A and B are shown apart, each in its own frame.
Chain A
């Protein structure tokens, strides 16, 4: 391992100092946070925006004539506008605020699929998916008699496109596919896949949880029908997320949950639902979280999504090559296009043992099945160690990881 290289990726990596949590020692070592794919740290701007709102502006949204309620509503709806522009949605009515990707996928399963699916219909996913892009479809299949079918992945962690395309037919009503695999980092070739799905009239939901933090997203250019993502993976607060959907589809869909805010008029005989997107936002939302998410969008835009993409691409290449140079390391996930997420094994050391040894040296990685058990099964592994990089990581972090792995190797030698 060479420590001789100068730390690179400065410029954008100056951003590191924007994240208070990164400036601490863990177990006597500088914290090296390599678990942003599980949840990213928040910049001070986000933390402060949430605190400012809590201190000064908190009230319920959409329902008061008083000043604080007005302020809260402005901030909350302002965040929706930011999110709308951020992913280039055509219309703010298409931005449904949810508690995260999981809720967004469940919403589509229950509100878009459930009323229309019947026995003989199919839902298509891939072998790369996170459990939250598997289980909601299993549930709706059970409820409707439809069938869940799964496209294979290959040894590099790419979706087998031939198989995926072969499974597409008029029977398939929806394709649920991740933008980026959280387990293997694979960036799916969405343009080709969505174009192919279109030819069969298949609706497409993209699980964008791991896409949004790493690259510029333009939902209109992508051509999908739904795009789901989580706030906490893009440097915003937990318990926030977005379902973007085409307005025409959302219009047709029945509400997902009933309650306050999603209605225009309620009587015991009849209830008139509110307009989009409020039809899908029953109850008091995570106001503070959404305001923080809006600030996270401001932050990402100020850094620049293209700079983030370039920075992470360079850093991932360095990570992959440094890892590969460690005796006994095997990379899991070597797809053609990969985001800055890298799974690996070190000899036959169980990932959890590795995780503990690394943690001891201040290096935080994720270990286990990454909520993608079918992926682990495909590779015949109980789990993997996974290092994921965010905009705030630099080559020094990678060097620390590699040094920590050398120690793990000694202990298990």
Chain B
């Protein structure tokens, strides 16, 4: 009985969506003509990724890619990020960073900024809240996004 419960909690963390994105990350690969890029490093785990953005003249994120390696949570989160912020304005994309990091680090849904943006696919990451030691894995790509938007090349860590 205990066992099924345990397993279900784990299934919550490693939902099918997460496993799917981790196995087949979307938009994986370097964007040679990126206008913005940043590296994300989680020194504790060794998760490491680089995020590439192409931002056009209207300040819209038209393309997102990433490369790197890490655990299932960090890879899935990065993959979900690329799907989420493509076609958002720079402002809305950065607002996603705040919403997601708040949501994963706070007990409640921390629904604040970017109500207009559809973040429903990111619910898949919610299971990570129960695992304080893994929150950094889930937020890594988002920190890289924030860093990339702030300047054209930089390094983000979860520390």
Contacts and interface: CB of A to CB of B under 8 A. Distances in A.
Q: Which of B7, B46, B131 has the most CB of A within 10 A?
A: B46
Nearest to B131: A356
A407 interface: yes
Contacts of B70: 350, 352, 382
B45 A411 contact: no
Nearest to B69: A382
Given A382-B69, A382-B70, A411-B14, A352 B45 contact: yes
Contact of A368 (B7, B10, B46): B46
B137 interface: yes
Contacts of B133: 356
Given A28-B2, A356-B134, A382 B10 contact: no
A353 B7 CA distance: 14
B40 to A, nearest CB: 14
B11 A411 contact: yes
Interface string B82-116: 00000000000000000000000000000000000
A412 to B, nearest CB: 7
B76 to A, nearest CB: 10
Nearest to A27: B6
A255 interface: no
A351 B6 CA distance: 20
Contact of B14 (A368, A376, A412): A412
Given A382-B69, A412-B19, A353 B14 contact: yes
B56 interface: no
If over half of A's interface residues share one DSSP class (helix, strand or loop), that class is named, otherwise mixed; here it is mixed
- Interface residue tally of chain B, by bracket? 20 to 34
Interface in A381-413: 382-383, 407, 411-412
A350 B6 contact: no
A10 B114 CA distance: 61
A356 B72 CA distance: 11
A360 interface: yes
Nearest to B7: A407
Interface residues of A, number: 20
B6 A383 contact: no
B13 interface: yes
Contacts of B55: none
Contacts of A360: 6, 9-10
Interface string A336-356: 000000000000011111001
A368 B137 CA distance: 13
Contacts of B11: 411
Contacts of A383: 45-46
Given A350-B71, A352-B134, A353-B73, A368 B6 contact: no
Contacts of A412: 14, 19, 72
Contact of A357 (B10, B47, B69): B10
B147 to A, nearest CB: 22
Contact of A352 (B5, B10, B19, B137): B137
Contacts of B69: 382
B45 A368 contact: yes
Contacts of B45: 352, 368, 383
B46 A382 contact: yes
A353 B44 contact: no
Q: Which of A27, A361, A382 has the most CB of B within 10 A?
A: A382
A361 to B, nearest CB: 7
A349 B19 CA distance: 10
Interface string B1-26: 01001110111011000010000000
Contacts of A351: 71
Interface string B28-49: 0000000000000000111100
Interface string B55-86: 00000000000000111110000000000000
B68 to A, nearest CB: 10
A31 to B, nearest CB: 14
Q: Which of B14, B45, B137 has the most CB of A within 10 A?
A: B45
Q: Which 8 pairs between the two chains have the least Cβ-Cβ distance?
A: A350-B71, A352-B71, A353-B72, A353-B71, A382-B46, A352-B45, A28-B2, A383-B46
17 contacts: A28-B5, A28-B6, A29-B6, A350-B70, A351-B71, A352-B45, A352-B73, A353-B14, A356-B13, A356-B134, A357-B10, A360-B10, A376-B46, A382-B46, A382-B70, A383-B45, A407-B7
Given A28-B5, A351-B71, A352-B47, 18 more contacts: A27-B6, A28-B6, A29-B6, A349-B72, A350-B72, A352-B71, A352-B134, A352-B137, A357-B10, A357-B14, A368-B44, A376-B46, A383-B45, A407-B7, A411-B11, A412-B14, A412-B19, A412-B72
